[in-house]
Each structure stands twice: as C-alpha cells, then as structure tokens.
Structure 1
Amino acid sequence: MSTTNAPRPAATHPTAAAPPSAPGPEQPRLTGRLKLVLAVLLVAQFMLAVDFSILNVALPTIGRGLGFSLAGLQWIATAFALSAAGFTLFLGRIGDLAGRKKMFIGSIALLGLSSLVGGLATTPGVLLAARVAQGLATAAATPAGLALLTTAFPEGPLRQKALGVNGALMSAGFTTGAILGGALTDLLSWRWSFFLNVPVALAVVVIAPAVITESRPAHRPRLDLPGALTVTGGLLAFVYGLTQAGEHGWTSAHAVTGLAAGVLLLAGFFLIERQVAQPLVPLRVLGRRNVAWGNVLGLLAFVTETSLVYLLTLYLQETLGFSPLAAGATFGVLGAGTVAGGLLAPRVIARTSLLTALVGGGLLQAAGTAALLFLGTTTGASLALLLPATFIGGIGNMLVIVGFMVTATSGLPDAEQGLATGLASMSQQVGITMGTPIMSAVVTATTAGATTPAAIHHGVTTAIAVNASLVLLGATAAAAFLRPRSRRPAAGQNRWPGERPAR
C-alpha cells in the first residue's frame, strides 16, 4: 500500500514549525506524463459513458429508417446493455492475464470499428451486431481503463483527484449522451451518434501506446472458466429479465424466467468460487467491507441517477410536450451538477472522510430527487423546480460515485486492482442497465396502460418516490456498515480508507 496517506509524525511542540531539515513526506505531484495518461484515459471513459445514452432519444427515428418493428426497437439499447454488463467481470480478468494496456487499446479499436459499422448499417441485423460489439468493447475497456488509472496514480489524494475527475466525466458523459443524441438526430442524422466515436477512438489508439505503461499482476492467475461462464451467464440472464420486466411487466414469462435463471447462475457462481483454487473473485476480497459495501453503494448510485434521466425524459416529452432536442438540453444543468460534484468530491474526502462523502452525498441526492415529487404539469413552474433540484442531486450523486470508486479500490495491492476495478465497473454497468427497466416497470404498473399526460405524470412521480427511497437506503447502508469500527486501530492494522487519523 502507498504510504502517502500516512499521518505526519507529531511535533514535540504543537505550536512550533517543523524544522526545514526534517520535512514530512512529500505528496506526489501530477507530472506532465501523468497528466497525459489521465487525459487519454478520461477521454476514452467519457466516450464510453456517452454511448450508454446517445441513442435513447433517437430510437424511434432509427426504427423508421431501418425498418425495426415496435417490439424489436428496444433491442437497439438492450443488445448493448446485455453485452456491456454481462461480460465486464470476465473481460476484466482477461485484461489481467493479457495485459491491461493491450486490452484497453484493443477494445477502444473495436469500439471505433463497430461504431463505423453501426453508422453505415442498412439493416436491423447489422445495427444490432454493431451494438453487441460496442457493448463488448465497453465491457473490456472500462475495467482495463480504471485499473490503468488506479495503478498509475498512488493511493491517496492524487488517486482521489483522478477518480473524482473520472467519475465526473463518466456521469457527465451519460447526460451529454442524451443531449448529443437529441441534437444530432434533429440537426444531422442518427448515424452521427455512431460516427462521433470513430475519430475519438482513432486518436486514443494512436496516442495511448506511447504514454500508457503496461500493467498486469506480477503472478498471472489461471482463468477460472467455470466461474467466468456462470457469472457471465447469470448477469446476462438477470439483465435480460430486468429489461423484459421494464417492457412487459414483472409477471411476464420472459422476465420471470430471466430473473430466476440469473439468480440461480449467480448462486452457482458463488458456490464455485468457494471451491476452486484460483477463483475469478476471491471471496476474501468480497469479505472486505470497503469492497463489498462500496460496490453496493455504487450500484445504487448508478441505478438511481441514470434512471432519473429516463423518468425526466418521459415527463418532459410526454407530460410537458418537449421535443427530443429541448428535453436533452434540459439535462445540461444536471450535467453541470455532476461535474461540480466530481471536482468537489476529492476535497470533501480529503478534509473530512469517505464516510462523510458517501452519507452526505446520498442525503443531498435524496433531497434533490424528493423535491421532484412536486413537479406539476405547467412548464414554467416545473422548470423552476426541476433545474435546481437536478443540479443539487447531481452534486450529491457524484459525491457518492467518487466515494464508491475510492472505497472499492483502496487498500488493495496492484495485483488485485484489476479485480477491484472489474467489480467496480460491473457495479457501474449493471447499475446503469438495471435502473431504466426497474423504473419503467414502476411507471407501467402505476399507469396501467394509460398514456395521457396526467397518467404519465402520476407514473413518473411514483417512480421518483421509489428512486429517492433507494438513495436513502444507500446512505443508510453507508452509515451503518462503513462506519470505522475503532478510532484507534491496533498496531500494524490499516485504517479503513478515508478514516482520519485519531488525534
């Protein structure tokens, strides 16, 4: 573990300045090379986040252009989500074996190629194949990029700042995707939602080999194939069940079958991990409070904020009558809040603790979300409430996301960073994927098939109440399970990451 977080030795006389000949350990600085590494990784991660939402508002236009049936239209989003969420942990371990730099550059190249194919597609089959390839590229690039970031920046303030900016851009990328998707569809063509990736991916592939250092564990573990197959199959089945629940309701045969199969396969995965010599996910790592509960909080953070974008899109277009472009532009305030929260989070963590960021951020997000329960059906009054509420909620959400990233990847050696970032990436991908189907199912159950503006408004506010409750659940879990057990750890025992030293 890095020693950059170690407290400075106490001076004999508290009021005396430390002598020049005996300064405390210097904090690492952000060198020019590290800035370039950070820029390359952040650009790639931002692009990956944009891809999650850039096609959402363009789906009806794509359907008309390529001849998708109404039932088949959802697969443009589902094909990407299934592969992105289902293969993250598996491909994260492949990156540990093959080299994270190789995996990162190769997956970004695949993203650029598949985006080009998607932009040129003339049939539904080609477009869906491109979306699957984009999802696989995202599943490989996200954990590899995070592992490269956490191994390039030593644990402590420098890593916290890097993860803060990374989290801000990831969350802002999701919001930016909605804005860009509406603008490109209205002003140019939906195909530019794909083409936009090509030059960015090309630039990353050209620059990354020269600035990023290869990273892999010192001892290459064997691939736990039974564990990889069961966790991938379980995630695919579970995410499929959720998407079907959002589309057809929780009692539909496809939803029930998918969810049941997912639960059984994931249960089998944990049984396998207890038996194999070199498990894909060592249970001792999941036994760490910061890893286990950090990922739970991250999952809830992504479930709630990304699904809120869906709910507000539905409200703005179906209740207030906004165009896709106007609805997307409205989320610019939310994006500004997430950027502000990402930049603020490292300072909050440094001056207080990770627990303060997680609990305080959750309460702030819950307050912003709960305020949206008072949205009405008139444009002026609704925007006067929606804009500041989403800005505040965005700040709170980013405090939680950065806190989750730091918590779930701290206190681990470089050899386990691939696993830790793979778990964090999986929580992120699954959370983004789960949120919309869950909230869609709530809206569907509340409206009972009615599509009037008043019915949509009622369904959306009900789902917002569920959303705010989940945020509060996360803040409560953080306060209950991540509170430091002791102010004074035993000799040789590390403090939980973010805990301030006892005075």
Structure 2
Amino acid sequence: MSTHSAADAPVDASPPGVPVELGKQPRHERANHRWWVLAVIATAQLMVVLDATVVNIALPSAQKALGFSDGNRQWIVTAYSLAFGSLLLVGGRLADLIGRRIVFLIGVVGFAGASALAGAAQNFEVLVSGRALQGLFGAMLAPAALSLLNTTFTDAKERAKAFGIYGAIAGAGGGVGLLLGGALTEHLSWRWTLYVNLVFAVIAFIGGLMLLRKGAPADRPRLDLPGTLLVTVGLFCVVYGFSNAETHHWGSPMTWGFLAGGVVLLAVFSWFQTRTRHPLLPMRVLTDRNRGASFAVLGISGAGMFGVFLFLTYYLQLLLQYNPVKTGLAFLPMIGALMVAAQIATNSLLPKMGPRPIVPVGMALAVGGMVWLTALNLHSAYAANVLPPLLVTGVGLGLVMPCAMSVATSGVSEQDAGVASALVNTMQQVGGSIGTALLNTLAATKEHSYLKAHPGGGVAGEALAKLHSYATAYWWSAALFAVGAIVAALLYRSGRIEGSPGEAQAVHM
C-alpha cells in the first residue's frame, strides 16, 4: 500500500486513483466536473431507490385496473426484488470488467425501457415482466453508480461530502417514493409511478454520456461463471424464501426449503471464491474489519428500516385516515432530519472520530425512535406523537447509512470498486427482504392472536388488532437496530479511517 498526497498530483495528468473520467483537466475543472458527476449518479440512484417504494402505494389502483388477485399482488414487488437482489454482485463485477460508464449507461436505458413496458402493461403478466426487467437493469445500474462515486471522489474532504449526499438519498429515497407515489396515483394514474422513471433516465443518460468518459480496465480477467451461477441462484433462493414467508408459514418447504438451499449455495460460493483464480467476489473486499462491519450494519439497518416505512404508512392511512399524499408529506421531516444528520456525520464526525462511536449512537437513536412509536394509539396526533419519534429515527439513520456506505467502499482497489459497491446494495436488499418477511409475519400473527383473544369487537376491535400488530413490528425493528448497535460497537476499529478528511490524503491499494 502506498500513500500519495492529492495536492502533489500534476495538473496535466490524472493523479493516482483518479479515474480516466477525470483525467487531463485543470484541477479546478476536475473539481467542478466531479460535482456534476455526483449529480448524474445521484439522479440515477434516486430512480432505483424510489422504485422500491413508489409502486407500493399504486398497487391497489393497478390491481383494480388490471384485475389480478390478492394472491398475485405480491409479485409486483417480489419480481423486482428477486431480480435486483440476486443479480447485484454480477452487475457490480461487470462494471469492473467491461467499464463502469458503459454498464451505467446500459443500466439507465434498460431501466427506462422496462419502466415504460410496465407502465403500459395491459395485463398482469406484462406488468410483472416489466418489474423483473427493472430489477435486472437496476442490478447493473446501482453498483456502477456507487463505484463511479467511489473512484471519482478520492480527495478525502470531497469524498466525505459526496457520500453524505449519496447516503442521504439512499436513506430518504423510500420516504420520497411514498410521497411521489401518492401524488402521482392521486392526481394522474398508477402508470405514472412507472413512467416517472423516464424523466430521471433521460437526465441521467444525457449527463452520463457527456460527463463520464470511456474507461475500460486495462486488465480484464475472465468472469467467474461458476461463482456467478452459485451466488445468483443462492441469493435468489434467499430472497424468494423470505418473500414466501409472507404468504406461507415459516414451516412450509417453500419458505425454509429455499432459505436452506440459498444458505448452502452461498456457503459453497464463499468456499469457491478462495480457490478460483478470478473470483467474482475477492475475499480481500470482506476481510478488512471496518468494511466487514459496514456490510453487516447495512444489512441490519435495511431490515430495521422496513418497520418505519411500511407499518407507519399503514397506521397513517388505515387508522388515522390519511390520503396517500398526506402520508408522504408526513415522512418529509424524517427525510430532512436524515439528510442534515448525514452531512454532519460524514463531513464533521466521521473524519474526526471514525465510525465506531458514530454508527452505534445512530443505531441507538433508531432504537429509541422505534420504541417511541409503540406508544401510538387510535387518537394520536401527528405533531405530538408521530413527528418526534420520526425525527429521532431520521437522525439515527442519517448517522448510520452514509458512514457505513463510505467505510464499506473506502480503501478498495479500483479493480474491486464495482463488486464492493454491489455488495453494499446486496446487503441492503437482502436485509430489506428479511425485514419484510420477518416483520410482516410477526405483525400478522399478533393481529390474528389479538382478534382470537378479543372476539366480537367489530370495527373498533379490528382497529385495535392492527394497532397491536404495528406495535409488534416497531418492537422487533427496535430489536434489529439494537443488534446493529452491538455489532457496530464490537466490530468497528477505534480511531479515524485511513484517508479521512483530516489527513487530506488518498490511500491507494
């Protein structure tokens, strides 16, 4: 490992670690160029993040228009998550092997085309096919975007600001999706929750075409086909198994069978990666203690966040009778708190203290926010009872997510940037699938047991049953965040990370 000062780089050539996208420009132009690149990357990432939630609010309208059953309804969400979650590592490695620019642009165009197909669907089959294609191209786009960010911002101070913005988008995208989905469904049509991606895609494609320069890697090792097959099928089984837990019981072979098969395949994949010449996921990406801690934290926070967005959405709409737009607006203060905390964490706290004191505190705040939400009742007021825990949770997630993302990709060699970035998205996706299945199942079980213990309650009894089920989900989300706090406190190293803004240096492998 060698260390170079960013300030010592010659003006007429790319300094070590600065990708070809930014080479051979005066330094002030390179700086301006980098921030435009961030705008392009952020636009593309927002498109992918939004799509995880923007369609959810539109589901009832789409179901009514196309006439598919309640049993098939879950596939509108699951088709996307299955393709996205199982193909992320492959998409990340493709970015490393054939170039991040080309993979990014293909991902943007493909995502836009899939969105148009799904938006124009006249039957259930076409809608599901479009959603699956969105997941496929999203699995190319998301890791390419994050690896471009990682290789573009090598100056430590700029890197902190860039990851603060990127982490805020990743954390707040779910809430923005709820707001946008509600507004589009209410004022236009459910189809516009899909068509809106075309707007983001045009901006991202034109920007990427103009700002990202061709940069194919000089050394192109062969793609690890056995590893690709093992990890793709393994991740598919894990995500599918957890998805089945929502509609089947945990004892069903459709649940535990797929989960067990997925775990076995991923274990074989891990073993194989240590023995193949060109691994899909080099173990050097995982063996750094701080990076390993960050991947674990991102998975746990992905599972815990589900309790905030889904069950609070149900609570606001079903029990407090909020419309979709008002529900989305209710989340805006949380998003604002998250974005402010993200900037403070990455620009001021992380460079001075490192991740060990920051991430556990963020997790602890998220625990407090979720526990606070358990006190909600049928007559709670937004300003007095809903807003305060939302703000606390937003600050907590703002401390956790951008710091973990930055550390997870810090110090990774440029040849591994794509796969490391893909692993960030994979952990969030798998974590979200676990949270979806686990919290939905626990909440449904609580609702059923409450109704059984309190028969004849009528509409009021059903409302109380739902309230108890939501509280159960909040408690379990709090437990997940508590586990995350312990994991972060134990695994992160003390002190600043290498290449922190205080050192004003870029560290290259």
TM surpasses 0.5:
yes
Rounded to whole Å, the distance in 1 between the matches of 2:3 and 2:172 is: 30
Look up the match of 1:22: none
Q: Which residue of 2 aligns with 1:354?
A: 355
2:172 aligned with 1:162, yes or no?
no
- The 5 Å alignment of 1:74-89 reads 74-89=74-89
Distance 1:499 1:340, change over 3 A: closer
The offset of 1:453, in angstroms, is: 1.1
Task: Give the match's secondary structure for 2:70.
Answer: coil
Contact 2:92–2:420 under 8 Å retained in 1: no
Flag the structure with more relative contact order, 1 or 2, with Cα contacts below 8 A and sequence separation at least 6. Answer: 2
Give 1:282's aligned residue.
Answer: 282
**Offset from partner CA, 1:9-33 (integer Å, 9 cap, x none):** xxxxxxxxxxxxxxxxxx9997221
User: Which residue of structure 2 aligns with residue 294 of structure 1?
Assistant: 294
- Could you list the runs of 5+ residues in structure 1 that have no partner in the other structure? 7-26, 488-493
In structure 2, what residue type is equivalent to 1:473? V
Partner of 1:395: 395
Q: Is the 8 A contact 1:407 1:497 kept in 2?
A: no
- Pairwise CA distance, 1:500: 7.9
1:285-334 per-position Cα deviation (integer Å, ceiling 9, x unaligned) = 32211221110001111221134201111222233333333322211222
Match of 2:147 in 1: 147
Q: Give how far 1:499 is off.
A: 11
Structure 2: distance between partners of 1:71 and 1:232: 26
| CA drift at 1:166 | 0.6
1:469 aligns with 2:470: no
Asked whether 1:211 is paired with 2:211, we answer yes
> Alpha-carbon deviation of 1:215?
4.4
**CA pair 388-217 structure 1, distance change in 2 beyond 3 A:** farther
Residue 369 (structure 1) aligns with: 370
> SS at the partner of 1:87?
helix
CA deviation string 1:38-68 (max 9, x = no partner): 1111111111111110011111111110111
Alpha-carbon distance between aligned partners in 2 of 1:191 and 1:387, rounded to the nearest angstrom: 31
- How many Å separate the matches in 2 of 1:366 and 1:431? 17
| Contact kept in structure 1, 2:307 and 2:474, CA below 8 Å | no
Map of 2:192 onto structure 1: 192
Distance 1:172 1:57 in 2: 17
Give the Cα–Cα distance (whole angstroms) in 2 for the partners of residues 141 and 37 of structure 1: 15
Farther-moved stretch of structure 1 (161-170 vs 363-372): 363-372
Structure 2 counterpart of 1:314, one-letter code: Y
Offset at residue 234 of structure 1 (A): 0.8
Tell me if the contact between 1:249 and 1:444 (Cα under 8 Å) persists in the aligned partners: no
Structure-2 separation of matches of 1:413 and 1:2 = 13
3-state SS of paired residue (2:73): coil
Residues 318 and 456 in structure 1, CA contact (< 8 A), matched pair in contact too: no
Give the structure 2 partner of residue 305 of structure 1: 305
Point out where structure 2 has 5 or more consecutive residues left out of the alignment: 8-26, 452-460, 504-509
Query: Which piece of structure 1 moves more, 112-121 or 428-437?
Result: 428-437
What is aligned with 1:15? Answer: none
Residue 201 of structure 1 corresponds to: 201
Supply the distance in 2 between the matched residues of 1:408 and 1:417 (Cα, whole angstroms). 10
Query: Does structure 2 retain, via aligned residues, the 8 Å contact 1:2–1:156?
Result: no
- Aligned twin of 1:443: 443
1:171 match? 171
- How far apart, in 1, do the equivalents of 2:344 and 2:436 lie? 27
Task: Give the residue type in structure 2 aligned to 1:132.
Answer: A
Percentage of pairs with the same residue: 33
Q: Is the 8 A contact 1:2 1:155 kept in 2?
A: no
Q: 2:109 matched to which residue of 1?
A: 109
8 A Cα contact 1:307 1:432, kept in partner: no
2:257 corresponding residue in structure 1: 257
AA in 2 matched with 1:435: G
Checking the alignment, whether the CA contact within 8 Å between 2:182 and 2:328 is kept in structure 1 is: yes
Contact 1:4 1:156 in 2 (8 A): no
Task: Write the deviation string for residues 369-428 of structure 1: whole angstroms up to 9, x where unpaired.
Answer: 221121122132x55221121122112112111111111111222122122112112112
Give the match for residue 90 of structure 1: 90
276-285 or 118-127, which deviates more: 276-285
Cα RMSD of the aligned pairs, angstroms, is 2.3
| Partner Cα separation in structure 2 for residue 32 and residue 200 of structure 1 | 22
Question: SS in structure 2 opposite 1:203?
Answer: helix
Stretch of structure 1 that moved more, 95-104 or 301-310:
301-310
Per-residue CA deviations over 1:457-483 (Å, capped at 9, x if unaligned) read 111111111111111111111111113
Distance 1:500 1:407 in 2: 15
Task: Indicate if the aligned counterparts of 2:179 and 2:329 stay in contact, CA closer than 8 A.
Answer: yes
Deviates more, 1:475-484 or 1:108-117: 475-484
Q: For 1:68, what is the secondary structure of its paired residue?
A: coil
The answer to whether the 8 A contact 1:55-1:181 is kept is yes
Q: Which amino acid aligns with 1:223?
A: L
How do residues 316-327 of structure 1 correspond to structure 2 at under 5 angstroms?
316-327=316-327
Alpha-carbon spacing, 1:260–1:177, altered in 2? closer, same or farther (3 Å): same
- Secondary structure of 1:221's aligned partner: coil
Structure 1 SS opposite 2:265: helix
Shift of 1:271: 2.0
CA contact (8 A) 2:307 2:473 kept: no
Quote the residue 2:17 is aligned against. Answer: none
Deviates more, 1:106-115 or 1:349-358: 349-358
Bigger Cα displacement from structure 2, 397-406 vs 440-449: 440-449
1:4 is displaced (CA, Å) by 5.2
2:380–2:386 contact (8 Å) kept in structure 1: no
Matches of residues 325-340 of structure 1 in structure 2 within 5 Å?
325-340=325-340
Deviation at 1:337, TM superposition (A): 1.9
CA distance in 1, matches of 2:499, 2:199: 39
**TM (normalized to structure 2)?**
0.88
Aligned to 2:234: 234
What's the offset of the Cα at 1:237?
0.8
1:38 corresponding residue in structure 2: 38
Q: Deviations over 1:148-187 (max 9, x none)?
A: 1110110522112101101111222211111111111112
C-alpha distance in structure 2 between counterparts of 1:307 and 1:372, whole Å: 10
Q: Which one of the candidate residues 481, 487, 494 is aligned to 2:491?
A: 481
CA contact (8 A) 1:155 1:410 kept: no
